[in-house]
Structure 1
Amino acid sequence: MDFMLSDSLMCLDMLHIGSQLAVLDDWMDWHHADVMDGHFCPNLTLSPDLVKAVCSVAKRPVEVHLMTERPGEWIERFAGAGAAMLSLHAETINAAAFRLMREVRAAGCRVGIVLNPATPLDSIRHYIDETDRLTLMTVDIGYAGQPMVPQVVSKIREAAAFKRKSGLSYEIQVDGCCNEKTYRTYAEAGAEMLVMGSGLFGLDTDLEKALQIMRQQQRAALAGMKQVACG
């Protein structure tokens, strides 16, 4: 088996985004844009203008991960910038989840839902069937390079089991600490897609080499493993 892969745009060299995107387009399934507002998330990253520039040249679709206190205020901006999917944090939308998810679809985007490490899967049970992609954070939001929160592995298993039992089709994505030490753990738990940050960009300053190393590490970690039946 192979994971579907998405690169974390916040980890790119901001002086060489165009050339790096050209390389990543040949390896990745998606690009992942982390949007942080300094309130819900203790950092500031990636504006609608940058996402628009990426979408104008990228061959792969862009998922915008809205780590913002008021995600509803950004739906039209990022949809207009060309995002193919908007992923909203359950912690910020549960008072208006159905309305905001409808707004995302009306804007022409697929719907993603994101859970922080401490947020239980039960918190989204009433609208998980409306979700195209479920992203489980395995680190606290805000910064790349953190160690995995091990308690999240059981939540990945729970999400995969619920998907099988319910006959749903949401993609199970893991965001955080995706590297050679965790690939097999995530796959065995039922993860289908990874957001690659430091586990890719920290491998080599030459991005093409880093991608080759990443692929070798993933295939070594998953060798001989039977694919988890999530569909």
Structure 2
Amino acid sequence: MKEKFAVSLMCMDFLKVGEQLNILNDWVGMYHVDIMDGHYCKNITLSPDLVKSFKKVSKLPLDVHLMTTNPEDWIDPVAEAGADIISLHAETINGQAFRLYNRIEELGLKAGLVLNPATPLSEAAHYLNRIDLLTIMTVDVGFAGQPFIEEMLDKIREAKRIREEKGYHYQIQIDGSCKASTFKKLTEAGADILILGSSGLFGLDKDLKTACAKMTESYKAALG
């Protein structure tokens, strides 16, 4: 069941990085690394240097989410730092999407795509076949703890339908407000991977092992 979950590392306790990663390695299937440049969204979070540090302890794939105005400047640095998947925002790659995905492929990495809540799947229709991971934002980009946007359930259903009709291979990942109250509706809509942050994991208990156990039980309870 751990493959159902990714963890947003921007929400972790940075005084306990090694300790927390060693715990999380046993509970989840992937790590989600948000890199924000302060321009594309009004926040600054993680960096290629932190990706390099995470890689020393992580036993899991690192999905690097580039919330950056110029993603072309970040692909090679995060690849060198140890990214396994590089996820690009549809809103930032118009005019260079195929060139950037070609570069990710050349680097031997998996390709991801991220859609903001207001961005339709149709904007990326011509390169959905190129991606391994489709991340649907269910909150606006930039900050943890925002309320879930219910309208995104239809987008998740549409992404699943397109995948089935076209024979595409991407997994559907959800970023934003994944927690006990949304686990069931997200999974039933078609989500494959849920990104856990403050409300879904780290805020459940001061002890991270206990928080992981509570998260797992809440997921089981929600899904019946």
How far did residue 28 of structure 1 move?
A: 1.1
Amino acid at match of 1:75: I
> What are the equivalent positions in structure 2 for 1:62-141 lying under 5 Å apart?
62-141=62-141
Aligned to 1:40: 40
- Partner-residue secondary structure (3-state), 2:35: strand
Change (3 A) 1:67 1:162: same
Q: Note the alpha carbon deviations across 1:195-229, whole angstroms, 9 max, x for none.
A: 11011111001000000000000011111xxxxxx
Aligned to 2:28: 28
Q: Note the alpha carbon deviations across 1:80-128, whole angstroms, 9 max, x for none.
A: 0010000000000021100001111112211000000000000011000
Amino acid at match of 1:109: L
Distance 1:7 1:81 in 2: 19
TM-score of the aligned structures, taking structure 1 as reference length:
0.95
Distance 1:31 1:3 in 2: 11
Aligned: 1:209 with 2:177: no
Matched pairs, number: 223
Distance 2:4 2:102 in 1: 26
Distance 1:2 1:80 in 2: 27
Amino acid at match of 1:74: W
Distance 1:21 1:202 in 2: 16
Amino acid at match of 1:10: M
Which stretches of structure 1, 4 residues or longer, exceed 4 Å deviation after superposition? none
User: Percent identity of the aligned residues?
Assistant: 51
- Partner-residue secondary structure (3-state), 2:139: coil
What's the C-alpha RMSD, in Å, of the aligned pairs?
1.0
Unaligned runs of 5+ in 2: none
Aligned to 1:5: 5
Q: Would the aligned equivalents of 1:2 and 1:219 in 2 still touch at CA under 8 Å?
A: no
> What are the equivalent positions in structure 2 for 1:174-213 lying under 5 Å apart?
174-198=174-198, 199-213=200-214
Q: Would the aligned equivalents of 1:31 and 1:61 in 2 still touch at CA under 8 Å?
A: yes
Q: Note the alpha carbon deviations across 1:132-176, whole angstroms, 9 max, x for none.
A: 000000000111110011111100000001111111110000000
